[in-house]
Amino acid sequence: MGYDFLNFMEKSISRRRFITLAGLSPFILANCASLGIKYSGDPSLKKLDMPPVRGFDLMGCTSYIVKGISDYYGLNKSLERINKDLKKGFWKPSFVTNIAAVLSGYGLNVDFYYLKNYSDSIKIYENMIPIEKLPEKGVKIHNKRLPLEEITSSIDKENPTISFVNHRTLMGIPKENLNIGHVVAIKGYSEDYLYLNDTSKIFGERKVKKEIFEKSRIGIPLECSIILSKSL
């Protein structure tokens, strides 16, 4: 069951079947894994074993991504605990700086890379932790854009990366000066593609061309990414 097949399924099925398959997707993915079915025959593929987490909160990309990271590193934090730590209410947004602070508080090494122009973001994210306060939370901050090569290098070291992107651009829709902030976890790569945990997809995973991903990071109010590793 490859990514091309999953994309075909998403585009082809009716709304009723879409809802049914969305509910069954964890079962389908689990059984594919148990049968040893791979998602790609690309020999250049490097992909971490980090199952996606999804739910019913339309603004829950931050908490679902943190839950996936928590499970991947064996921290096993509940969604209830994560939402509380993110200072996030149901159907209310949180922000990437909060993710960095929370994951640092869970004992991970967190490096936060950013290029900022986020005066508008402060009005949107009421409980946003300012970047300048992140070192107080144990987060290392870097005032530069995280190169794609460092993202793939992190995956080689068995560590996923988190990025804040423009969702419209990620889907291949022209921006037209409209920024829809979205958080994804990068968990794999091949020669031409990146593999993401993306809560906006029915199966929770997205395969995207590297150039599209790079475009999705440019021009948003705060260009930022998080590199993670487990403390020794």
Rounded to 5°, the CA angle 143-197-210 comes to 60
Least confident of 3-7, 32-36, 228-232: 32-36
- Do the strands 140-142 and 161-166 form a parallel or antiparallel pair, or are they unpaired? unpaired
CA distances from 184 to 66, 96, 131, 171, 194 (A): 10, 10, 19, 13, 11
Place of tokens 């599209």: 212
**87/7: higher pLDDT:** 87
Average of per-residue pLDDT values in the chain: 80
pLDDT band at 80 (very low <50, low <70, confident <90, very high): very high
Parse the chain into domains and list their residue ranges: 1-39, 44-230
What is the pLDDT at residue 115? 85
- What is the pLDDT averaged over residues 75-87? 92
Burial class (CB in 10 A: 0-12, 13-18, 19+), 42: middle
- What is the pLDDT averaged over residues 82-108? 88
Place of tokens 């395969």: 207
pLDDT at residue 220 above 70? no
**59/4: higher pLDDT:** 59
What is the pLDDT at residue 99? 94
pLDDT at residue 207 above 80? yes
Place of tokens 């929370």: 102
pLDDT tens digits, one per residue of 26-79? 444 444 433 333 445 678 899 999 988 987 766 678 899 999 999 999 999 999
What's the whole-model pTM score? 0.78
pLDDT tens digits, one per residue of 98-136? 999 999 999 999 999 998 655 555 555 667 888 889 999
* Euclidean distance between CA atoms 27 and 124, whole angstroms: 36
pLDDT at residue 3 above 90? no
pLDDT tens digits, one per residue of 145-198? 999 999 999 999 999 999 999 888 888 887 666 667 889 999 999 999 999 999
pLDDT at residue 25 above 60? no
3-state helix, strand, coil in the chain (%, to 5): 40, 20, 40
CATH superfamily of 44-230: Cysteine proteinases (3.90.70.10)
